[in-house]
Amino acid sequence: MNVTEALKTRKSVRAYLDKPVEDQKISAILKAARHAPSGVNTQPWQVAVVTGESKMQLQKKIEARFRDGDKGKAEYDYYPNEWAEPFTSRRKECGLLMYKTLGIERSDRERQKNQWAANYRAFDAPVMLLFFMDKRLQAGSFMDYGMFLQSIMLAATEQGLATCPQASLADYPNLIKQQLGYSNEQILLCGMALGYEDTKAPVNSYRTTREEFQSFTQFFK
């Protein structure tokens, strides 16, 4: 599989087989991703690979918080405070595609809540990756981290695995850091589900659209 094929094949997967991911595959993915670029070679990434009983305990606590009405709050603003076009329409289309595929009506708040709760279990994938960064670093390191995350997703695709990057897994940073023993000097940036795709699950059947490159590109010669 070449890079272009991996880019086109990769998608955000929200249902996984009940099949463990081999340790050597996880190691191979992270060994490849470590070659991602970073400003002055800061390599700001710190990764928690959470599986088995550790994952079960952690996700149970996170989901309990969510179901008790605690919406959580990440340590930085991922989304804008005020939405504008064309981002509003893209966001709406993304949500509607998933709910339509699952047959969840806008009025069915309970099913919507249950679907959102699946975020906090990393969609029941066998592996939950959590990504931390030193608080002393600045916005440039967020850019570095994006390249690192994409490298992980492409390397996972090469290994025959599926992923879903998740901002939602940063909603309860204090709980997660306490549970895993990470310092408050670290920011929890996001998480990622990792596992084998359940290709029969309806939620994995849709794809979000992408703009043609001409719509966001200008050539200056």
Please report, for the chain, the start and end positions of each structural domain, with discontinuous segments joined by +. Answer: 3-206
3-state secondary structure of 128: strand
pTM: 0.95
The pLDDT tens digits for 32-91 are: 999 999 999 999 999 999 999 999 999 999 999 999 999 999 999 999 999 999 999 999
For 187-216, the pLDDT digits (tens) are: 999 999 999 999 999 999 999 999 999 999
Q: Which CATH superfamily is domain 3-206 in?
A: NADH Oxidase (3.40.109.10)
One-letter amino acid identity for 37?
Answer: P
Digit-coded pLDDT (tens) for 81-127: 999 999 999 999 999 999 999 999 988 999 999 999 999 999 999 99
Helix/strand/coil percent split, the chain, to 5:
50, 15, 35
Report how far residue 191's alpha carbon sits from residue 145's, in angstroms, rounded to the nearest whole number. Answer: 12
Partners of 134 in the β-ladder: 186
Which residues, in sequence order, are CB contacts of 129 under 8 Å at separation 6+?
A: 47, 48, 49, 50, 152, 191, 192, 193, 194
C-alpha dihedral (105, 199, 67, 109), degrees to nearest 10: 0
- The token duo for 166 is 């998740």
Q: Which pair of structure tokens corresponds to residue 105?
A: 């009506």
pLDDT number for residue 106 = 83
